[in-house]
């Protein structure tokens, strides 16, 4: 074991939660499904080394457009 063991899984997990909207269980599930499909398509299209790049590009792209996440609930006024 090394101190960095599992870091990759942690980063993908954080990306899933933020994409789905923090505190939204259904959004987190849909975000995980969406990221899983994106990783598979990227690995099939460009090779296994690019699947994580697809996750981070998608993550930063969504954060740029919708910082609250894709499926976040609107705040009550």
38 sits in which H/E element: helix 25-46
What is the pTM for the complete model shown? 0.76
* Euclidean distance between CA atoms 37 and 72, whole angstroms: 20
Residue 33 within a domain: yes
Our count of domains for the chain comes to: 1
Helices vs. strands in the chain: H and E counts, helices first: 3, 0
- What pLDDT shows up at residue 21? 82
pLDDT in tens, the chain (77 residues): 788 888 888 888 888 888 888 888 888 898 889 889 988 999 999 888 888 888 888 888 888 988 888 877 766 55
Residue 49 within a domain: yes
Residue 70 within a domain: no
28 exposed, middle or buried (CB, 10 Å; 0-12, 13-18, 19+)? buried
Residue 51 within a domain: yes
Residue 49 lies in domain: 24-65
Residue 47 within a domain: yes
């Amino acid at each position: 074991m090394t101190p960095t063991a599992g870091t990759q899984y942690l980063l993908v997990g954080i990306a899933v939660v933020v994409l789905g909207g923090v505190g939204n269980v259904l959004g987190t599930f849909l975000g995980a499904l969406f990221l899983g499909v994106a990783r598979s398509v990227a690995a099939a299209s460009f090779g296994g080394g690019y699947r994580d790049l697809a996750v981070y590009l998608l993550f930063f792209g969504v954060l740029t457009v919708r910082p609250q996440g894709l499926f976040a609930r609107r705040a009550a006024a």
